[in-house]
Every structure is written in structure tokens, then in C-alpha cells.
Amino acid sequence: MNWAAISKWSEELQSRGTDLQKRVRGLRRRVALLLAVVGPGLITSNVDNDAGGISVYTQAGAQYGYALLWSLIPMTIALYVTGEMCARMGVVTGKGLSDLIREEFGFRPTFFVMITGFFVDLANVVAEFAGVAAAMQIFHVSKYIAVPIAAILVWVLVLRGTYRQVEIIFLVACVLYLSYVVSAFFAKPDWLEAARHTVIPSMHLNASYLVMLTGLIGTTIAPWQFFYMQAGFVEKKVSARQYPQARADVMIGSISCMVIVFFIIVCTAATLYTSGQHGITDAAEAAKALVPLAGKWAGTLFAFGLLNASLFAASILPLSTAHVICEGLGFEAGIDNKWREAPIFYWLYTILIVVGAGIVLLPHAPLWKILIFSQVGNGFWLPVVLIFILLLVNRRDLMGEYVNTVTFNVVAWITAIAMIALTLVLTYTSLFTGNAPSP
């Protein structure tokens, strides 16, 4: 009895493995390769269409019809360029953005970035729960029932799930955004006109048009998304060799995000704008106004889209924030840890949800002021984060051959400067004039 004898027996078995089997395995592997990476980019970009975002897009359509559609193409580029840098950093260094800021810039800058992040994100979480409340009101559910249920749902989802499971739920949420596409078809828009305005820019040099344009861009690129996306790639352990897939993920995400925005604007332009209801200020109001114009289904789908978007963002924002803070301060973080292993992470997460949902439930909550604060906060925080990103992504000692190319730097800095200028304008108008788009 020896080893060689056994080996000979199994050779017989080996020869039975058919060629077909091997080919199927190869295909499966290739699909798995892409699926293993896809996620962070797609999810993050779609979360940009949160409650605040949808409100702004609705107003843009109601007030200006198709006229602002052209801004979507440059916005897609900006979204891609900024997101890609974070994806690349995550994939190449294997570290989160706040980890890198901490290691390269020290404790104090990190601390301030994180404290600001906490309050800005908290305001954003309030905005998301306010979105849940508004959407459920259309379905005749009181906010005192809807918001606590949503909060518990969100909390349990992340607490009980592993990263993989949660990500799958998030990916499903991305698909649900398609309700806006259906809604837009119900509205019977003038597709030719919409297409024309998408390709040909039209500038109007009046203040409220510029403010609306700024609002559109300001709500689309949020500072916390960089942290979330990079952490997503790091947590998925995507390696530098998989960078092309990661880049594809970011690109698919940016484009799909903008496609949804396109349909939201088209939907409201074809109905609210055409029928002269230019003064709609939020998404819930728009959903109601859609019913007589495009039918009950269009309105319901629109409201459903808002609910989905708000819930989706409400699950991700607290998660992302808790991650950022723990990473930077050196506490255990990540939903693959148990509560006991990462207590501060889970406490932060819980506080953000409880306080965020709680504020919406206060009978006379100054929601409007909080929403303005969230937008102003994003505005101030974004340039800071963008500059950190640009400084880091150009470091050869960190990025090696993956540092920004000159072309990419030019595009990225133009994006950064444009974003900074636009958000400053938006912040100024939100604070000091009355004609800001309502978030």
C-alpha cells in the first residue's frame, strides 16, 4: 500500500473531468471577478440621490423644465473624477481615507475633519429621516409611526448583517431607483426636447438660475461619500490588480446616478413645469402634484422613489460616519466586527440614528434650519476633504505608479475648484438670501 497506488487510481477519475466543465468554471470565474469588486462605487454614487438631492432635482425640473439637463454631463464627469481618486487610493494603499489623513497629516487635522464630519452628517441623517416622513405621508402613514420603524429597520439591518449581506440589500436599493424611470414614462415627456437640452448647454445669467445650478451640483457630490466609497473598497479587500474593475464600478455608478437624475428632472419638467406649477419646493409635494397630471401610478412611484432613497441614505450615512471617526481615532470599526469588538463604532452608529430620527419626531422641530445647515455643512466640508484627497493621491510614496497623471490632476483640480466656488456660492445664498433651493 503506498501513495503512488492511490495516485494512480485517482488518475482515472481525473481523466473523466470534461473540457466543458472547465470552460464553465472559467466563465464563472470571470463574472465572479467583476462581481467581487462591484459595489462600493455603484452604491455610493446612487446614495447621492438622497432625499435632499431628489428635492433639488424636482425643483430644477419644475422651475426650469428641461433647461438644466445639460449640467448632468459635466456633473457625471466630476462625480467620476472625484470618486475614482478615492477608489484608486483605497485599492492601492488598502487604507481608508481617514486612516491616510491621520497617517500623513497627524492627529489634529484628522480630529477636526472628523468632528465636522460628525455634525454635518448628523444634519444629513436628519434630512434623510425627514425624507422618509414626507414620503410616508403621501401613503397616509403618520411620521410618528414611519420614522421609528425606519430607524429600527436601518439599525437592525447593519447590526445583524455582514458586509456582504448589507451590500446586497444596498445593491437592490440601487435597482429600486428605476421607479423614477417608470414614473418619467408615465409623464409622457417630449423626449426630443429633453435630448436636445442634455447635449446643448443653455446658460441664463440670472441669479435664481445660477443658484439652482449650484444647488444641483452641490447636492450631487457630498463629502462623506468619498470616505464611504474608499472604505467600501478597503473592506472588500479589492487589490491593486483589480483596479480596472474598481474603476468600472465607479464609472457605472456615476453614470447610473446621473441617469436617474435625468429621469427625475424629465418627469417633473414634463408635468409640473408644463402645467405651470413652478413653485414646487419639495419631492413629496411634487409626488402629490403628479397624480392629476400623470396618473396615480406616477405619483406613487415618485413617492416610493423618495422613500427608497431616504432609507438607503439613512442606512449608509450613519455607517459611513461611524467608520470615518473610528478609523481616524484608531478604534475598531466595520460591520464585520461584533458589538463587543467595536463598541465605539456601534455606539456612534446608534447615536446618529437615534438622534437623527428623534429630531424629525420633535413636534416643532426646526427641520428647515437643520436642512440648511446640512447643506452649508457639506459645502464647507467638501473643499477641505477634496484638498486632502488631491494631496494624498499625488504622493508617489503612497500611490507608486498609481499617482494622478497630469491630465487627471488638471481635471481633478478644475473639478475641485469649481466645486469649491459653487458650494461657496450656494452656502452664501442659503445663508444670506431667500432664494436657495430647498434641500
Partner 1 sequence: MQIYATELLGSETYDDQGHFVGRVREFFIEPADQPNRVSRFLLSRGRFAPLLARHDQVAQVAPGTIRLNCSERALELYRPNESWLAVRKDLLDQQIIDTKGRKVVRVNDVDLAELRTNGNVELRLTQVDVGLPGAVRRLLQGVVAPAVVRKLQGNLPARTIRWEFVNLIEPDPLRRVKLRITHEKLEDLHPADLAEIMEHLSAAERQGIIASLDEQTAASVLAELDERLTTQIVEKLDPEKAADILEEMAPDAAADLLAELPKETSEELLEEMPGLEAAEVRELLAFDPATAGGMMNTDFVFIGESATREEVLQWMRSQDLNFEQLDTVVLLDGAAQFSGTVPVAKILMANSEQPMGDLRTEPLLSVQADADEADVFDLFDKYNLRMLTVVDAHGRPMGAIAVDDVVSRLVKK
Whose Cβ is closer to partner 1: residue 108's or residue 140's?
108
Whose Cβ is closer to partner 1: residue 80's or residue 346's?
346
Whose Cβ is closer to partner 1: residue 103's or residue 193's?
103
Whose Cβ is closer to partner 1: residue 193's or residue 332's?
332
The nearest distance, CB 18 to partner 1, in angstroms, is 11
**Residue 279: is it exposed, middle or buried by C-beta count within 10 angstroms (0-12/13-18/19+)?**
exposed
The nearest distance, CB 100 to partner 1, in angstroms, is 10
Residue type, 328: G
The nearest distance, CB 75 to partner 1, in angstroms, is 32
Helices 51-64 + 283-294 axis angle, to 10 = 50
Whose Cβ is closer to partner 1: residue 241's or residue 396's?
241
Query: Using CA of residue 72, residue 73, residue 78, residue 83, what is the dihedral sign?
Result: positive
Contact footprint for partner 1 (CB under 8 A): 1, 3, 5-7, 9-14, 17, 21, 36, 93-95, 102-103, 106-108, 110-111, 237, 239-241, 329-330, 332
CB 330 within 8 A of CB 316: no
Whose Cβ is closer to partner 1: residue 274's or residue 337's?
337
The nearest distance, CB 103 to partner 1, in angstroms, is 5
Whose Cβ is closer to partner 1: residue 117's or residue 215's?
117
Task: Give dist(CA 22, CA 123) in Å, integer.
Answer: 53
The nearest distance, CB 225 to partner 1, in angstroms, is 22
Task: Give dist(CA 98, CA 83) in Å, integer.
Answer: 15
Task: Give dist(CA 308, CA 237) in Å, integer.
Answer: 28
How far is residue 210 from each of residues 58, 250, 265, 270, 309, measured CA to CA in Å? 16, 28, 17, 22, 26
The nearest distance, CB 26 to partner 1, in angstroms, is 9
| Cβ atoms within 10 Å, residue 198 | 18
CB 72 within 8 A of CB 255: no
The nearest distance, CB 343 to partner 1, in angstroms, is 13
Whose Cβ is closer to partner 1: residue 6's or residue 387's?
6
The nearest distance, CB 242 to partner 1, in angstroms, is 9
For residue 140, give the DSSP letter.
T
Task: Give dist(CA 401, CA 261) in Å, integer.
Answer: 35
| Cα angle 157, 229, 342; round to 5 | 50
| Cα angle 67, 225, 338; round to 5 | 150
Q: Would you give the end-to-end CA distance of the chain in angstroms?
A: 78
Q: What DSSP assignment string belongs to 238-305?
A: --GGGHHHHHHHHHHHHHHHHHHHHHHHHHHIIIIITTT-TT--SHHHHHHHHHHHH-HHHHHHHHHH
Residue 190 DSSP SS3: coil
Q: Measuring CA to CA, which residue among 120, 221, 207 is closest to residue 423? A: 221
The nearest distance, CB 234 to partner 1, in angstroms, is 8
Whose Cβ is closer to partner 1: residue 9's or residue 432's?
9
Whose Cβ is closer to partner 1: residue 237's or residue 369's?
237
The nearest distance, CB 121 to partner 1, in angstroms, is 20
The nearest distance, CB 29 to partner 1, in angstroms, is 9
Whose Cβ is closer to partner 1: residue 257's or residue 393's?
393
Four-point Cα dihedral 156, 161, 167, 171, nearest 10 = -60
